[in-house]
Amino acid sequence: MSCIIGIDLGTTNSCMSISEGGNAIVIQTGEGPRVMPSVVAFTPAGDKLVGIVAKRQAITNPKDTITSIKRLMGRKYEELEKETFNVSYDIIPNDKGDAVVKIGDGRTFSPQEISSMILQKMKYRAEEYLGEEVTDVVVTVPAHFNEIQRKATKAACTIAGLNVKRVLNEPTAAALAFTDAVERRKIAVFDFGGGTFDISVLQVVNGIFEVKATTGNTQLGGDDFDACLVDWIMDEFKREKGIDLREDPVAPQRVREAAERAKCELSTALETSINLPFIASSDQGPVHLEMSITRGIFEGLIRDMVESTRPLCKQVLKDAGITHEDLETVVLVGGSTRIPMVRQLVEEAFLQEPVHSVNPDEVVAMGAAIAGSVVSGQRKDLVLLDVTSLTMGVETLGGVMAPIIAKNSPLPIKRSKMFTTAVDNQQVVGIHVLQGERDLAEDNRSLARFELVGINPAPRGVPRVEVSFSIDANGILFVNAKDAVTGKHQEMTVNPSGGLSDEDIRELIRDARQSRESDRDRIKLIENRNVADQLIYEATKMIKTSSDRLDRESREDLESALSELRTARDGTDIVSIEKAEKNLSIVMHTVRNIMNMVDTLDEKDSSTDVSTLDQENGIN
């Protein structure tokens, strides 16, 4: 079996890791950082950008830059109308009512398609690092993701050409990366990321990782903190200057970027400032945004959202059947846990200081890689026992939900319940599969509908129909309905992929395969242009700052190589760009050596002059 990579497909950033010799190694994105922004952009020239290059151009191309796509995974458009999204692009319903993204040229993309583009980039990077094709993956999801969101994530991996070996809850992955297999302890994982919040309690005994309880909020994260800060900045600017930045097509994205940066800075500083020159214009001329933000102001804006996690911390302990005194460790996961107010709440909720020794941005991907080594058989000292995060059941007479598998049940699991008919001589029974914690069916999430036909006619209440639910280790649901008298049955795999049919997925896979090579070429072209831009900058600076130290021949060689690279950089021939880069690098290296020799000779001459002068003055 080829190696299995672990991927944390995050709301704000994504990360990937591989297990080598039992240890998880984070695979760098190739663009500097160890995490990659979960951003996709479509440029006016028709290019598709992914990662940091997409994020860099967000200010000038806000409508076609897609961020925080994870929050749309497997969701209906009507669900989103109650929420405020801190995004600049358009979200619309498709013909099935699912939330999709619309870009400037009118094209629409499902969240799975956008996510698959991020996954494809990570797959390409992993293959570069390993030197072999990567096909298998353990992908993580928030523990509180429902069935549809999990299947949508799996569909995104499939479109990207990745075979999902396991869908793993993020807190479980974090525990795997943090806790030694031989330890015996109860731990809580407080996972507060860019778009989701989870809290899980696990018990670790002799390599067996058992999730005791989990809960959370899939629509709460650092993005919401950013949105509050953006609104405050814009309101303050409007109050002071009388200008509403929300009406400008570009200004809001500049404010979002500044707000995110300010949020990060306020985790370590008590005050920060925002300076955005030429943010707007008035009759008097350009208007600049300049203001200071204190940690107190920021904490006041986010206090209610942070406090909303406190009752969930209490609830997860109750569901696990333990108290805070039984916990040995509380682990922080996700970028939002860097905020001092969040850390203070965790300490108050669990009456102990949380652990800061793990990198909250990388620990989930590392745990996914370790889970991959378990799946592949490389590690036999670990066993993962996860739980289902939400109750699953069926609709009964009167629109009431009848639970079959309760939340926090250990996986894999199979449960059955006996039902009967509601009217006389009923020969068909409709099975409506639901997921959620509400008593009424309409308040829960509909997963699937199917019919069991061929029931013998009988008075209502007489037939016996057994409905069985089976959930595998990935949290994927299988349903079976059987007539106890006739033996007739109907079964199905609940396969809600967030609005995409099997044919849709197959078509997207074909498109992805066809564009994979061109996508890689585009990525390589962009990377070479970035290298070229840096070399051009350094060479230009060398000419300007060292003109008095360059002889005519060296200067001409440098200007010629620089001109050659500028010409190649504007083209699309990667080989020509690489050749020009190499040539300019050699010329710059030669010129530096010449200048160093000149500097050395000058120092010697200067030293001789001083020594001679000293002797003449009788100092020696």
- Residue numbers annotated as active site: 8, 70, 170, 191
DSSP per-residue string spanning 126-180: HHHHHTS---EEEEEE-TT--HHHHHHHHHHHHHTT-EEEEEEEHHHHHHHHHS-
Contact of 7 with 19, CB cutoff 8 Å = no
Q: Are strands 413-419 and 465-471 parallel, antiparallel or unpaired?
A: antiparallel
Total Cβ atoms within 10 A of residue 415 = 16
Q: What single DSSP character describes residue 455? A: P
CA dihedral 156, 159, 163, 166 (to 10 degrees): 10
Two tokens, residue 143: 């523990």
Name residues whose C-beta falls within 8 Å of residue 604's C-beta, 6 or more positions apart in sequence: none
Calculate ∠ Cα 30-32-36, nearest 5°.
70
DSSP per-residue string spanning 198-244: EEEEEEEETTEEEEEEEEEETT-SHHHHHHHHHHHHHHHHHHHH---
CA 302 remoteness from chain centre: 22
Please tell me the distance from the alpha carbon of residue 378 to that of residue 376, in angstroms, as a whole number: 6
Angle between helices 147-159 and 111-130 (to 10 degrees): 50
Q: What single DSSP character describes residue 81? A: T
Place of tokens 């190649």: 568
Total Cβ atoms within 10 A of residue 83 = 11
- 3-state class (DSSP) for residue 520: helix
Q: Which of 181, 136, 146, 122 is nearest to 5 (CA)?
A: 136
What residues form DSSP beta bridges with 330?
188
CA 81 remoteness from chain centre: 23
Please tell me the distance from the alpha carbon of residue 354 to that of residue 330, in angstroms, as a whole number: 5
CA 94 remoteness from chain centre: 24
Name residues whose C-beta falls within 8 Å of residue 191's C-beta, 6 or more positions apart in sequence: 142, 143, 170, 171, 174, 197, 198, 199, 200, 216, 333, 334, 364
| Long-range contacts (CB closer than 8 Å, 24 or more residues apart) made by 30-35 | 30/125, 30/128, 30/527, 31/527, 34/361, 34/362, 35/10, 35/361, 35/362
Give the largest Cα separation in the chain, rounded: 127
Contact of 451 with 429, CB cutoff 8 Å = yes
Place of tokens 């967000």: 58
Phi-psi region for residue 484, left (φ > 0), alpha (ψ -120 to 50) or beta?
alpha
- Torsion sign (Cα): 209, 211, 216, 219: positive
Name residues whose C-beta falls within 8 Å of residue 445's C-beta, 6 or more positions apart in sequence: 146, 147, 148, 434, 435, 436
